[in-house]
Structure 1
Amino acid sequence: MNYTPVAFIQNLSTPEIVMIGCVILLFFGAKRLPELVRSLGKSVGEFNRAKAGIEEDFRSAMDVKDIDNKPRPQEAKAPAESA
């Protein structure tokens, strides 16, 4: 399993994670927990879409090629039209 640690999570063991889960369950209750997780997922998805949009804006503003140095589809030149 290849997993990248986030902040302090790398120092938590299983019992500590279970304890944190129990405290969250006590604070929010079983009825509101699915709603909370769903809204958290939507927020993360919205953040990722915004991040991708900003990256695309930077790439188009800088007019650079992708990481693998292949031209982007917008940069491909169309064949010359006959007059």
Structure 2
Amino acid sequence: MGIAPLFAGIPGGPEMLVILLIAVLLFGANKIPRLARSVGESMGEFKKGRQELETEIEVESDVVKSRGTRDADANPTREARE
């Protein structure tokens, strides 16, 4: 008989009700929709920024790969020259 972990995954129904109750007490019922909207917008901006960064990294990676291929063609290795 082991000890249950303190945080065992995603909260279920009763836990979500407690979290919702705390949120209502902290922010007030009329502010929760605005808070949820701003969190959603922030997540959208984060995803957009992450996608732009990934695209930029891919482009730079392609440039480096194409330079590496040209450098290898211009400067063959010792084994290729022999």
Give the TM-score normalised by the residue count of structure 2: 0.63
Number of aligned positions between the proteins: 57
Give the fraction of aligned pairs with identical amino acids, expressed as a percent.
Answer: 35
Unaligned stretches of 5+ residues in structure 1: 1-7, 65-83
Q: 1:9 to 1:63 in 2, by over 3 A?
A: farther
Structure-2 residue corresponding to 1:17 = 16
- Shift of the alpha carbon at 1:9? 7.2
Runs of 4 or more, structure 1, over 2 Å off, are none
Query: Per-residue CA shift, 1:22-76, capped at 9, x if unaligned?
Result: 1001110111111100100000000000000000000000018xxxxxxxxxxxx
The structure with the larger Rg is 2
**C-alpha deviation, 1:17, in angstroms:** 1.3
**1 or 2 for the larger relative contact order (CA 8 Å, sep ≥6)?**
2
Gaps of 5+ in 2: 1-6, 64-82
Distance 1:9 1:17 in 2: 14
The residue that corresponds to 2:78 in the other structure is none
Higher relative helix content: 2
